[in-house]
Amino acid sequence: MRLSHLALAVLALSACGPAGEAQVAQNPPVQTAPPNAPNQKPAFPEQTRAPEQKLGVAYEVQTLATGLNHPWSVAFLPDGSKLVTERAGALRILSADNKLSPPVAGLPAVYAEGQGGLLDVTLDPAYATNGLIYWTFAEARDGDANGTSVARGKLVPGAQPRLENVQVIWRQTPALESPLHFGGRLAFAPDGNLFVTTGERSIIPGRMQAQKLDAALGKVIRIRPDGSIPADNPYVGDPQAKPEIWSKGHRNVQGATINPWTGKLWTAEHGARGGDELNHPEAGKDYGWPTITYGEDYSGKPIGDGITQHEGMEQPIYYWDPVIAPSGMAFYNANLFPAWKGSLFVGGLKGYLVRLTLKDDKVVGEERLLSELGFRIRDVRVGPDGALYVVTDEDDGRVLRIVPKA
């Protein structure tokens, strides 16, 4: 039996190319529960319920920090320390020897209600010379309205860390009265431009603007690091459109990462009851919400006309029904876990980490890890050391490091 598993692991590894391509045996899918919308059919065979692919990688989980208040994101500083956001509004530095700093001073006020709060954090590509970091947060606006905002500032580490020269470089408009669906992931592209994901705020007045070009609700946004608009954005010059829009028709995009082999953006977004999606959004394209989607509304009724395809609207690369509740995501492009090289990892708020095997930009294998812990996985990153780092969205939130089992 052990020889058989070893042979399968070697076969899987030998089949993996630089972009995670692999041949996968036609095993049953991981998901065995019936879909919420049983009459819906995928648009192509690999679009949902890919075969389960267990690579048999032995790992251990190290706990680097506990006691965090619903941590949302982690980013790596050059000195081996890490930035960690807490949704309640604190940014902390986790030192290389795993000590948490006091909250970093200088953050703008955060609207920390419902799903809102301090969200993603990332470093400027030129951090080594400019010291800039970027973060997303839910921000109160006029009256009771609020929305997603992006800020940047210079990080000054130390015993009492602080931010200097803080600027809010982008604000989602229109602002709405809702504590839901802020999106909030950041991803720097190889060309230096910054992708920002948003949600459509869940309420019907926001949902119906996800495909409208005069609103930044339910969109992927593309801006320069100073908040200005790249000249090659798809709607630049259209007086009826917001020029920062990259793609439209999204629900609540909480996962975003750059494919290191192609330089293209990939995203994961929440569906309702079913319909979680994996996409790689392209300029000027419409990803369908709420006209087309898989799954159903929380009421059990169809969403809109209950259709899953429409001319001029893009299909997801992959969808889940029932949901995994996707959040942070990362491609594995390191050497610590050779068998995982090329895999795409997606955090699942349902209590596991999803590993996907890709071939020609299609999902051909799925594996679920860390289910033994039962934590809501809010973010996953590949560290400079090749380990996987995970943050758990809990009252007693943790930063975890996944390394090969000794």
| The model's pTM | 0.94
Q: Could you say which of 70, 181, 250, 270 is catalytic? A: 181
Task: Label residue 27 by pLDDT band (50, 70, 90).
Answer: very high
Percent of the chain with pLDDT over 70: 94
Alpha-carbon span 110 to 117, nearest angstrom: 6
Is 43 within a domain? yes
Q: What is the pLDDT of residue 23?
A: 58
pLDDT digit string, tens, across residues 286-321? 999 999 999 999 999 999 999 999 999 999 999 999
- Spatial contact of 234 and 283, defined as CB atoms under 8 Å apart: yes
Write down the mean pLDDT value for the chain. 94
pLDDT digit string, tens, across residues 206-225? 999 999 999 999 999 999 99
The number of angstroms, rounded, from the C-alpha of 181 to the middle of its chain's C-alpha atoms is 13
Question: Number of folded domains in the chain?
Answer: 1
- Mean pLDDT over residues 338-366, rounded? 97
Q: What is the pLDDT of residue 393?
A: 98
- Spatial contact of 220 and 235, defined as CB atoms under 8 Å apart: no
Sign of the Cα pseudo-torsion (375, 358, 200, 143, in order):
positive
Which ranges of 104-217 would DSSP assign to H, the alpha helix?
127-130, 204-207
- Mean pLDDT over residues 179-202, rounded? 98
Structural domain for 108, as ranges: 18-404
Task: Label residue 24 by pLDDT band (50, 70, 90).
Answer: low
- Spatial contact of 350 and 374, defined as CB atoms under 8 Å apart: no
- Mean pLDDT over residues 356-373, rounded? 97
Alpha-carbon span 206 to 9, nearest angstrom: 47
User: Does 280 qualify as catalytic in the annotation?
Assistant: no
Convert 60-85 to b/e letters by CB count within 10 Å (16 or more is b). Answer: ebeebbeebbbbbbbbbbeeebbbbb
Alpha-carbon span 71 to 50, nearest angstrom: 30
Is 42 within a domain? yes
More confidently predicted of 123 and 17:
123
- Mean pLDDT over residues 342-351, rounded? 98
Whether pLDDT at 13 is above 80: no
Whether pLDDT at 86 is above 60: yes
Tokens found for residue 392: 């758990």
H or E element at residue 71: strand 71-76
Whether pLDDT at 17 is above 90: no
Convert 313-349 to b/e letters by CB count within 10 Å (16 or more is b). Answer: bbbbbbbbbbbbbbbbbbbbbbebbebbbbbbbbbbb
Is 1 within a domain? no
pLDDT digit string, tens, across residues 241-252? 999 999 999 999
Looking at the chain, how many residues does it have?
A: 406
Task: Label residue 271 by pLDDT band (50, 70, 90).
Answer: very high
Residue 172, φ and ψ in degrees, nearest 5: -75, 130
Q: What is the pLDDT of residue 7?
A: 35
Bridge partners for 356 per DSSP: 344, 366
Give me the CATH number covering residue 334.
Answer: 2.120.10.30
Q: What is the pLDDT of residue 26?
A: 78
Bridge partners for 363 per DSSP: 358
Total H helices, total E strands in the chain: 3, 23
Whether pLDDT at 8 is above 90: no
Q: What is the pLDDT of residue 25?
A: 59
Nearest-CA neighbor of 224 among 150, 165, 283? Answer: 150
Is 290 within a domain? yes
Is 13 within a domain? no
Whether pLDDT at 3 is above 90: no
Is 12 within a domain? no
Bridge partners for 267 per DSSP: 256, 279
Beta strands per DSSP E along 157-280:
162-171, 186-188, 194-197, 220-223, 245-247, 253-258, 265-269, 276-279
Is 192 within a domain? yes
Position 277: which residue type?
A: E
What are the angstrom distances between the C-alpha of 149 and each of 166, 286, 310?
13, 23, 32
- Spatial contact of 300 and 239, defined as CB atoms under 8 Å apart: no
- Mean pLDDT over residues 2-30, rounded? 50
- Mean pLDDT over residues 49-59, rounded? 97
- Mean pLDDT over residues 156-183, rounded? 98
- Mean pLDDT over residues 234-262, rounded? 98
Alpha-carbon span 252 to 211, nearest angstrom: 13
- Spatial contact of 175 and 215, defined as CB atoms under 8 Å apart: no
Is 243 within a domain? yes
